[in-house]
Amino acid sequence: MNIKNFAVSIFRIAQHFVNRFIISKSTPITYQISIIFSLVFFATICIACSSEDRMFKEDSLEKDRLSGIKVDGVVQRPDFILQDTKGNSFDFQQKTSGKVTLLYFGYTNCPDICPVHFSNIAAALDQSPYEVRNGVEVVFVSVDPKRDSPQKIREWLDFFDTDFIGLTGTYSDLEIAQNAAGTPAAFVSEVYENGYSIAHAAWIFLYTQDDLLYLKYPTGTRQSEWAHDLEALVLQN
């Protein structure tokens, strides 16, 4: 029996004694006062417990109001192997299994979407509790191996957070990785005198501890939304 139910039971017992004894004129006044005091005291407990239960339920519901777009169906954490910024082989599925993971395909010369995404995520994690920061893996896959060397990727990521993981590979490897994640392969969309721009998916994929794709986050997801969602998802278990 929880505290609320216990208090309700005591409340009903107190009511019984009030009806039985206080009505009787022969009951000493001190007993009557004691019973009334007990009735008020336990009624207060009942109200407090009810309020606490409501607050807990409302808080749980609030954590369910996530900003990401829910993914329909069962989509497994993708299986692909690329190279990290130290030149080591990185098995994405194996290395990130069991953790809340953000996966993004972009490039360091991206003028807007990529830096905005990572700036907001970094700021959100920076203000989050240690358990949340430690429970999230952020993985950036460069789709521009011609310009994005491992060193350049590392420098770009370090500007946001030194714990972020950077990956790269051959064009063929990157296409395999994007196909595994269910996103269209990036391609050169515009060539100009001093370089080129790349069209790539703007979504950030979020995988949960059960190794399933749970949410997708579009461009424009705010820092406060990241902070709320990551804390809710990491601490739910």
Give the 3-state DSSP-derived string for 103-136, with helices as H, strands as E and coil as C.
EEEECCCCCCHHHHHHHHHHHHHHCCCHHHHHCE
Q: Are residues 108 and 13 in the same domain?
A: no
Q: Are residues 93 and 137 in the same domain?
A: yes
Give the pLDDT of residue 29: 55
For the stretch 97-126, pLDDT in tens is 999 999 999 999 999 999 999 999 999 999
Q: Work out the percent of the chain whose per-residue pLDDT is above 90.
A: 70
Give the pLDDT of residue 2: 44
Domain count, the chain: 2
Final residue in a domain of this structure, among 64, 94, 110: 64
Q: Are residues 15 and 125 in the same domain?
A: no
For residue 138, which of 125, 147, 150 has the smallest C-alpha distance?
A: 125
For the stretch 25-65, pLDDT in tens is 454 555 444 544 544 444 444 344 444 433 333 344 344 68
Q: Are residues 50 and 124 in the same domain?
A: no
Q: Are residues 50 and 129 in the same domain?
A: no
111 or 10: which carries more pLDDT confidence? 111
Angstrom CA distances, 80 to 91, 138, 175, 207, 233, stand at 6, 16, 10, 15, 24
Give the pLDDT of residue 142: 98
Residue range 66-89: mean pLDDT, rounded: 96
Give the pLDDT of residue 25: 46
For residue 42, which of 2, 7, 4, 1 has the smallest C-alpha distance?
A: 7
Is the pLDDT at 189 greater than 70? The verdict is yes
Final residue in a domain of this structure, among 36, 64, 92: 64
Confidence label for 236 from pLDDT (cuts 50, 70 and 90): confident
Q: Are residues 53 and 83 in the same domain?
A: no
Q: Are 96 and 139 in contact (CB under 8 A)?
A: yes
Confidence label for 22 from pLDDT (cuts 50, 70 and 90): very low
Alpha carbon distance 139, 26 (integer Å) = 79
Encoded tokens for 114: 């990529």
DSSP code, position 184: P
Final residue in a domain of this structure, among 28, 46, 64: 64
Residue range 205-213: mean pLDDT, rounded: 97
Give the pLDDT of residue 11: 43
CATH number at 138 reads 3.40.30.10
Q: Are residues 137 and 220 in the same domain?
A: yes
Give the pLDDT of residue 58: 36
31 or 76: which carries more pLDDT confidence? 76
Is the pLDDT at 219 greater than 70? The verdict is yes
Q: Are residues 127 and 15 in the same domain?
A: no
Give the pLDDT of residue 64: 60
For the stretch 148-173, pLDDT in tens is 999 999 999 999 999 999 999 999 99
Give the structural domain span for 58: 3-64
Encoded tokens for 93: 């599925």
* Residue 97, phi-psi category: left (phi > 0), alpha (psi -120 to 50), beta (remainder): beta
For residue 177, which of 117, 50, 110, 89 has the smallest C-alpha distance?
A: 89
First to last CA, the chain: 25
